[in-house]
Amino acid sequence: MAAQRDDEAGWSAEAARRVWGGAVPLQVHLHDADVTTLPPPPPFLTLGPRIGYLPLLVPIIKAHFSSTLPPGIDTVWFEYKGLPLKWYIPIGVLYDLLCADPERPWNLTVHFRGYPSEILTLCDGEDSVKWSYMNSLKEAAFIITGNSKNVMNMSQADQGALWQSVMKGNLDGYMNISTRLKLGPFEEDCLVRTSSVEGQQGSDEPESPGSGKPCRVPVRLYVRSVQEDLYDLEDALPVGDWESISYINRPFEVRREEGRSYITLEHALKTLLPEFFSSKASRIPDDSETAPQAPDSAPNDDSDVTPRSCEKLESSASSSPQEANVANKGKIVKLVRVQGIEVDMDIPFLWVANNLKNPECYLHICVYVGTRKREPKDGR
Amino acid sequence: MGGSTTVRDGTLSHGDFVASAKALIEKWKEIDVDDALPDWRWKPCCKMGVPSEEEGYLALEGVYRNHGGSQVQSCSGNLHFYDYHVVYSFSYKVPVLYFQGHQSGGQLLTLDEIKEDLPSLSLKLLGESRWTFITREEHPHFSRPWFTLHPCGTSDCMKLLLEGMQDKDQQVRYLPAWLTVVGQAVGLKIPLGLHCNS
């Protein structure tokens, strides 16, 4: 047991080191309208930390392009193939989501004017990013412990040090402070730890294990559709607008179920995205990558799917029946990416959550869903 | 049982949110409401074009206000319109208010312009209470920034507000009580009739 835990600790440390060291090669082009010299300046090459944020790169990018920028006040934003990039989404997640076939280097366009404020929340540089990060950390703390007090009660010095660690990719500095927040690791039979009342309940655990609150894992899902018959990812159509991506900010509640030795990533996704796991896919062995597990999971799958099927039938009746049916039948999960890794569906979910989460304690999951092309809907 | 437990800590389950939202819609139609206020509607949300009856949000749209009401000015040129959405937060297990205002021509209002439309009580509340401060966040269903009251203090506030109530009443009264508090902060008057049992 002790030896096994030492091994686990070693692997976790290695995973954290790799996650924190992960970077996306970026080639930043200055938008044509912001060029005031001939010839136009060469693009700027840099590495964007996966767990970092685009606005934090603005100082070095601005230095590179400074001699050619137009006069006036800068309002910096980034764009990829016409899509303004949301600065509060980590760089690695944007890359995993928007580059179906990883583009190396990732070609981005930087603008210094014409901020699309109807699409993007304003960003005042580092302070806005820090606020966004702390806000996400508070939310994650609430999910995990039932309140945000550990984060709210941090001293200004600790908050500053934590943020500096995140900005500079300083894993050791981050661990020194974040361990005091007591936000992990996620365990199957965990109880909420912070509240003294919960502590009392915890003492009752041997008598009634079910009385404890289930562990909740902060998850942010980004669901993108690709052509159903897509074979090569390089043929995927680029994302034209954010409305075509489903963003789901919803924690996963860890509930141990009989017959399961562990909770798979697939099970977690089925819970969070029931619409995209049609009953056919889970029943046909050929389509399922978890065929070996089929005997064990079949009963649960049936019980899980039946209520959803009823709900879908109801919703079909309320809206256009054929359209909804076609939409449902045509969707299936093709690919799941976390920290740039295409993860198997049968991997233990809690391993993924504990080892591949971002510094704000969120697990960001990019899901590619195959969609049958019918009518292009401009009116949506 | 689970429902009662969660309400006691100031949170609301998703199921109770959906049920009480639909109850509020019906109640709103029955009570005496200011003529300027339209009806609340339930809007199911879509994921990649698949509608979900289970998930959605409450919407009150097209609420108009005369900008600088006390001044004598051209009426049509100073009308502001407000949309209010009540969205359930799975993270905080509480309802969250998202809102935005626009001019009659469709141009979005800034926060300063919105504050000019607010009565002094709302401004006082926004300035003093730690439970109501306005930020600009992405609307969960629209991928665009809307104004919102940050939900991190809601459960503490609601716990105080609902103390002493019978358990079975809490689930029914949670949403009207919450709406009255946040409504005051953003200048949205909630009729007293919403709280009375018919």
CATH number of domain containing A176: 1.10.246.190
Is the residue at A208 inside a domain?
no
For residue B186, name the pLDDT band (cuts at 50, 70, 90). Answer: confident
Kindly state whether residues A61 and A110 are assigned to the same domain. yes
Distance CA A65, CA A60 (A): 9
Among B175, B171, B127, which Cα is nearest to B154's? B175
Kindly state whether residues A90 and A43 are assigned to the same domain. yes
Kindly state whether residues A35 and A144 are assigned to the same domain. no
pLDDT at residue A201 greater than cutoff 70? no
> What confidence score (pLDDT) does residue A349 get?
93
> How far is C-alpha A29 from the geometric centre of its chain's CA atoms?
26
Kindly state whether residues A34 and A163 are assigned to the same domain. no
Whether chain B has a CB inside 8 Å of the CB on A370: the answer is no
Is the residue at A247 inside a domain?
yes
Within 8 A of A139 by CB-CB distance, chain B residues are 91-92, 152
Is the residue at A266 inside a domain?
yes
CB contact under 8 A, A315 and B51: yes
Name the percent of chain B lying above pLDDT 90: 16
Q: Which residue has the higher pLDDT, A293 or A53?
A: A53
Q: Mutate which of B91, B100, B103 to test chain A, going by most A C-beta atoms within 10 A?
A: B91
The pLDDT tens digits for A60-115 are 998 999 888 888 878 899 999 999 999 999 999 999 999 998 887 999 999 998 99
Kindly state whether residues A47 and A112 are assigned to the same domain. yes
CATH architecture of the domain covering B14-64+78-195: 2-Layer Sandwich (3.30)
DSSP A40-69: PPPPEEEEEETTS-GGGGHHHHHHHHGGGP
CB contact under 8 A, B92 and A380: no
Among A80, A146, A137, which Cα is nearest to A111's? A80
Phi and psi of B84, rounded to 5°? -120, 130
Kindly state whether residues A266 and A348 are assigned to the same domain. yes
By residue range, what is the domain housing residue A167?
Answer: 127-181
> What confidence score (pLDDT) does residue A287 get?
35
Among B94, B95, B64, B89, which Cα is nearest to B79's? B64
Show Cβ contacts of residue A61 under 8 Å, excluding neighbours closer than 6 positions. Answer: A28, A44, A46, A76, A110
Kindly state whether residues A337 and A223 are assigned to the same domain. yes
pLDDT at residue B79 greater than cutoff 60? yes
Which residue's entry shows tokens 């600088």? Answer: B68
Among A43, A108, A114, which Cα is nearest to A78's? A108
> What confidence score (pLDDT) does residue A330 get?
55
Whether chain B has a CB inside 8 Å of the CB on A327: the answer is yes
CA distance A42 to chain B (A): 33
CB contact under 8 A, A248 and B47: yes
For residue B41, name the pLDDT band (cuts at 50, 70, 90). Answer: confident
pLDDT at residue A368 greater than cutoff 80? yes
Kindly state whether residues A30 and A135 are assigned to the same domain. no
Kindly state whether residues A115 and A131 are assigned to the same domain. no
> What confidence score (pLDDT) does residue B1 get?
35
> What confidence score (pLDDT) does residue A157 get?
94
Q: Which of A225-229, A266-270, A301-305 shows the highest mean pLDDT? A: A266-270
CA distance A29 to chain B (A): 25
CB contact under 8 A, A121 and B145: yes
pLDDT at residue B3 greater than cutoff 60? no
Kindly state whether residues A114 and A158 are assigned to the same domain. no
Could you tell me which chain B residue has the CA closest to the CA of A195? Answer: B9
Q: How many CB pairs under 8 A join A and B?
A: 81
Q: Which residue has the higher pLDDT, A17 or B95?
A: B95
Kindly state whether residues A250 and A360 are assigned to the same domain. yes
Within 8 A of A119 by CB-CB distance, chain B residues are 143-145
Three-state DSSP at B174 gives: helix
Q: Which of A60-74, A86-100, A289-303, B123-137 shows the highest mean pLDDT? A: A86-100
In this predicted complex, what is the ipTM?
0.86
Kindly state whether residues A35 and A90 are assigned to the same domain. yes
For residue A220, name the pLDDT band (cuts at 50, 70, 90). Answer: very high
Residue from the list A118, A148, A275 with its beta carbon closest to the beta carbon of B108: A118
- Decide: residue A267, CB within 10 A, 0-12 exposed, 13-18 middle, 19+ buried: buried
Q: What is the CATH number of the domain that holds A245?
A: 3.10.20.90
